[in-house]
Amino acid sequence: MSLETGISPHGGQLVDLMVKGGGGSEPAVSVALGERQQCDFEMMAIGAFSPLTGFMGEADYQSVCEKMQLADGTVWPMPITCPVDEVTSNTVKVGDRVGLTDDRERLLGYLEVTEIYKQDKAKQARLAYGTEDVAHPGVKALMDDGDFCLAGTVQAVTLRHEPMLPEHRLTPTQTRAEFQRRGWKTVVAFQTRNPIHRAHEYITKCAQELVDGLLIHPLMGATKDGDIAPEVRMECYLKLIDGYYNADTTMLAIMPAAMRYAGPREALLHAILRQNYGCSHIIIGRDHAGVGKYYGTYDAQNIFDGLPEGGLKIKPMKFEHAAWSKQAGGMVSRKTFPAIEGDQIFLSGTKVRELLVRGERPPIEFTRPEIADILIRSMKDA
């Protein structure tokens, strides 16, 4: 595997949408962003969504849905929009400077409105998510949004009021500076929205052997009901890294993006974001960013094979599903050890939750006991 010695942001440079001095006079109209759009706003403002400078207009929206490209041909797999209801769409006019607030009406920034258009939700669901089934959490969030979109350039006054885990909330500029300080030229990112179990630990360490550093980069934005609370996950990450990783070659930071559960297309999005954070590689494992049975086991890996030459600078590291083999006495995958009936330890998420709720640790071959203890305590406290 050839390893690169540096990586540029997607589109060539990092976007910075922060403004100084409060951004000017109060706008006549304000729009409250939903939780997912607040995440998108923050990701745009810090440059993690580079080259985007605002919420997409209709030409970009249609091109992204149909071709996984912005209108100018830049690879981009998921629409990033500012949905509003019909009343708001009739109140706001093209040319307005709209205030963007959080759900408690606190100002985040401004949107210079250049377009107002109706989104094609059925088309977006079918193409971006691969299904129109509202049981899919990403599709349900889309269908629950307003039918119209405001497009235009964003100016950010503040990223978040009362941000969660601020000490780990590093921007792309900050991660790049830290990689440089550590002397890391090649960095592999690990995307996760769950605690890290033994299979994850195994593939991150396999990847770590090939690069200068590992960025454990959990997604800490909006997720679906039933996902483990961010504070609990962070406690698990810190405990695991402290006990089982080399601090000189491992780094932890959070990514405040919303989870879309879009499988292959979201895997591409996750790669673009990590390129903007300065990573040269990203781990793409089994059913990356998937949910339920909507996507094939390795669809998220295969989508990278169809990209145009030079479409992304970051490279995927593709891993098979790994599990503990009793006969081998360690972690194995389909590539490294033959399948033997009853040999490997597989546990479904449902089975793991049942054990934890009863206060029972899953097997040590599945998860580190310290991590299981944190999860058991969190479920008792819930």
Whether 90 is catalytic is no
Beta bridge mates, 69? 75
Whether 194 is catalytic is yes
Q: With 70 as the cut, is the pLDDT of residue 37 above it?
A: yes
Of 28 and 249, the one with more pLDDT: 249
Q: With 60 as the cut, is the pLDDT of residue 142 above it?
A: yes
Kindly state the average pLDDT of the residues 106-112. Answer: 96
Structure-token pair, residue 363? 């097997």
Beta bridge mates, 155? 110
Kindly state the average pLDDT of the residues 87-113. Answer: 96
Q: Please state whether beta strands 107-118 and 97-101 pair in parallel, antiparallel, or not at all (unpaired).
A: antiparallel
**What is the torsional sign of CA 45, 138, 106, 152?**
positive
For the chain, residues classed under CATH 3.40.50.620 are 166-323
CA-derived radius of gyration, the chain: 21
DSSP-assigned states of every residue in 102-153? -TTS-EEEEEEEEEEEE--HHHHIIIIIS---TTSHHHHHHHHS-SEEEEEE
Q: Please state whether beta strands 315-318 and 281-284 pair in parallel, antiparallel, or not at all (unpaired).
A: parallel
283: helix, coil or strand?
A: strand
**Mean of pLDDT over the chain:** 94
Of 1 and 280, the one with more pLDDT: 280
State the pLDDT confidence band at 22, using cuts at 50, 70 and 90. Answer: low
31: helix, coil or strand?
A: strand
The CATH class that applies to domain 21-156 reads alpha beta
Q: Please name which of 24, 23, 30 lies closest in space to residue 96, comparing C-alpha atoms.
A: 30
pLDDT of 18: 94
47 near 275, Cβ under 8 Å? no
Q: How many CB atoms lie within 10 A of CB 94?
A: 12
Separation of alpha carbons 287 and 291, rounded Å: 8
State the pLDDT confidence band at 380, using cuts at 50, 70 and 90. Answer: confident
For the chain, residues classed under CATH 3.10.400.10 are 21-156
Annotated catalytic residue, options 36, 169, 176, 193: 193
222 near 36, Cβ under 8 Å? yes
Annotated catalytic residue, options 194, 353, 361, 377: 194
Separation of alpha carbons 231 and 99, rounded Å: 30
Separation of alpha carbons 281 and 276, rounded Å: 11
- pTM of this structure: 0.95
- For the ranges 56-65, 275-284, 330-339, the lowest mean pLDDT is seen at 330-339
Q: Residue 351 carries which DSSP code?
A: H
- For the ranges 200-204, 263-267, 302-306, 356-360, the lowest mean pLDDT is seen at 356-360
- Strands (DSSP E) contained in the chain are 30-32, 54-55, 82-84, 97-101, 107-118, 148-156, 187-192, 213-218, 250-252, 281-284, 315-318, 322-325, 330-333, 344-345
Q: Looking at the domain that runs over 166-323, which CATH code has it been given?
A: 3.40.50.620
pLDDT of 3: 40
Q: Please state whether beta strands 148-156 and 82-84 pair in parallel, antiparallel, or not at all (unpaired).
A: antiparallel
pLDDT of 294: 97
Q: With 50 as the cut, is the pLDDT of residue 1 above it?
A: no
Separation of alpha carbons 200 and 186, rounded Å: 20
54 near 278, Cβ under 8 Å? no
Collect all residues with Cβ–Cβ distance below 8 Å to 207 and sequence separation of at least 6.
Answer: 188, 190, 214, 281, 283, 317, 319
Provide, rounded to the nearest whole percent, the portion of the chain with pLDDT above 90.
88
The string of pLDDT tens digits covering residues 255-285 is: 999 999 999 999 999 999 999 999 999 999 9
Residue with tokens 């669901």: 125
pLDDT of 4: 42
